[in-house]
Amino acid sequence: MIIYTGGTFGMVNNTSGTLVPFDFSLILEHLPTLRNLFLELTVISFDNPIDSSNVQPEHWQTIGKIIFDHYKENDGFVVLHGTDTMAFTASALSFMLSNLTKPVIFTGAQLPISEPRSDARENLITSLEIASAKKNGSAIVPEVCIYFDYELLRGNRSRKVESMHFDAFKSENYPPLAKAGVKIDYELSAIHTSDKKDSLVLRTAFDNSVAILKLFPGISKEVVSSIINTVGLKAIVLETFGSGNAPSASWFIELISEAIKKGLIVLNISQCPGGMVLQGKYETSKLLREIGVISGGDMTTEAAVTKLMLLLGEFPMTDVREKIQQSMAGEITIS
- The residues annotated with a catalytic role in the active site are 8
Angle at 87 between CA 60 and CA 202, to 5 degrees: 35
Q: Rounded distance, CA 201 to CA 99, Å?
A: 6
Helices 86-96 and 301-314: angle between axes, nearest 10 degrees: 40
Cβ of 226: how many Cβ atoms within 10 Å?
10
Query: Which of 170, 151, 156 is closest to 100 using CA atoms?
Result: 156
